[in-house]
Amino acid sequence: MTTTRMEATDRKALLDRFLRYVAVDTRSDENSTASPSTAGQLDLARLLARELRDLGCTDVEMTEWGYVFATVPATLPADHPARDRVPTIGLLAHVDTYFGTPGAGVKPQVIERYGGSDIVLPGDPARVIRVADNPNLARCVGHTVITSDGTTLLGADDKAGVAEVLTVVDWLRRHPDFPHGAIRVGFTTDEEVGRGTEHFDVKSFGAQVAYTLDGADLGEVEDETFCADAATVTLTGRDVHPGYAKGKMVNAVRAAARLVESLPRDFLPETTEGRQPYLHPYRVEGDVSKVTVRFLVRAFTVEELREREDSLREAVRAVEAEFPGVAADVEVQESYRNMREKLEEDPRVLDCALEAVRRTGLTPQRKAIRGGTDGARLSFLGLPTPNLFAGGQNFHSVQEWVSLEWMTAAVECVLNLLAVWVEQSARPT
């Protein structure tokens, strides 16, 4: 049984990579029709392609969509029993960061030997990462903890995953005797706006199984996601001069405010947890004559998803009745579905990941994601892709943080995963 551990020099290289990547502003833009949606993603993609070439990868490619692909060739000798049976494994992460929080000019704060107290963010001392609100900080005493300065997000979602994949590639280059099958590296764009796999060609990628490094807590393996739809409600009113509006104006702004306020509190993301579904109004745009309200609809089953969408339609009909003259339209667009049913078709995909976590010295935490990853769509496209922990905390927030030791454990977990797949594939069928 093989168990792999990182050295101090590996951890230093991992930190340097991460700090290099978060310096690039890669926020995606949900309102852009370009692909990728922002130029900054291309800047990081070019950097990653260069680094993959420098690390000796083959087939390094940056596509017109900003995806970066590369191959780490297999090292199994010709007579190894797993040589022709181990699958090509994909390692994936996304380069973009969340569009709703500032992401330019990230100034990382690196705290060595974290002592266990609240963390004041120097760029905005009113922003404090409090131990009371972040119980995982107690697990990271003595670690190297990285935050932003409090004026931007950090970008651990998912540049921690990006840095971890590159560190795996670098470690394999420096340990050519480590036996593994072929590896396909993939970095995607626009994951945060739900378009991370829009141009992803699974067949040409050439992997039979893949893993995203886009999770959070130490030891997590996520094999379920929400089912997700996006809903847009358009409310059309009638605008006239407010001084002469009696009996004539139909105010779409008031109708939209009533719609949002009418949602049951137990439908909202801020009041739900675990496997509870939610309906999330996250953007309102418009004026008296027309307002659009955008919603995220999330549930772990399609049936629950439909129930939330029907509830939204009922609320819209009630608003139409309350505001005579308002015309309402509800458009629902599918985003992704729960990947569990696809992962269950080949139990080895999850079993190998859980064993890799154990070999890293951790207790596996099998969880369902209250969100989505590129792996959800890829699984339905024929590439089973569960999600592994990358270590980041407080995603999408200026209070985002990550432990270097947890990132190191993610690298070790991937290396152990490669070994588990070789051992599993060498067994007689």
Q: What is the dihedral angle through the alpha carbons of 209, 159, 223, 206, rounded to the nearest 10 degrees?
A: -10
DSSP class of 116:
S
Residue type, 61: E
C-alpha pair distances (Å), 100 with each of 1, 152, 155, 181, 251: 45, 10, 12, 39, 28
Select from 199, 171, 166 the least CA-distant residue to 91.
166
Q: Pairing state of beta strands 401-403 and 392-393?
A: antiparallel
Q: How high is the pLDDT of residue 172?
A: 97
Select from 232, 230, 254 the least CA-distant residue to 242.
254
Q: How far apart are CA 74 and CA 80, in angstroms?
A: 11
Does the annotation count 191 as an active-site position?
yes
Task: Give me the tens of pLDDT residue by residue for the chain, a chain 429 residues long.
Answer: 557 888 999 999 999 999 999 999 999 998 999 999 999 999 999 999 999 999 999 999 999 999 999 999 999 998 999 889 999 999 999 999 999 999 999 999 999 999 999 999 999 999 999 999 999 999 999 999 999 999 999 999 999 999 999 999 999 999 999 999 999 999 999 999 989 999 999 999 999 999 999 999 999 999 999 999 999 999 999 999 999 999 999 999 999 999 999 999 999 999 999 999 999 999 999 999 999 999 999 999 999 999 999 999 999 999 999 999 999 999 999 988 999 989 999 999 999 999 999 999 999 999 998 877 899 899 999 999 999 999 999 999 999 999 999 999 999 999 999 999 999 999 887
Q: Which domains does the chain have, with CATH numbers?
A: 8-225+338-426 (3.40.630.10), 227-336 (3.30.70.360)
Q: How high is the pLDDT of residue 369?
A: 86
Candidates 25, 51, 96, 149; catalytic one:
96
Candidates 25, 158, 170, 191; catalytic one:
191
Question: Which residue carries 């089953």 as its tokens?
Answer: 301
Number of other CB atoms surrounding residue 88 within 10 Å: 16
Does the annotation count 7 as an active-site position?
no
Q: How high is the pLDDT of residue 2?
A: 59
The DSSP result for 311-375, as a single string, is HHHHHHHHHHHHSTT-EEEEEEEEEE--THHHHTT-THHHHHHHHHHHHTT---EEEEESS--HH
Q: What are phi and psi of 266, to 5 degrees?
A: -80, 10
Question: Is the pTM value of this prediction over 0.85?
Answer: yes
Q: How high is the pLDDT of residue 140?
A: 98
**∠ at Cα 333 (327, 335), nearest 5°?**
150
Q: How high is the pLDDT of residue 102?
A: 96
Q: How high is the pLDDT of residue 425?
A: 94
Task: Write out the two tokens for 183.
Answer: 């590896």
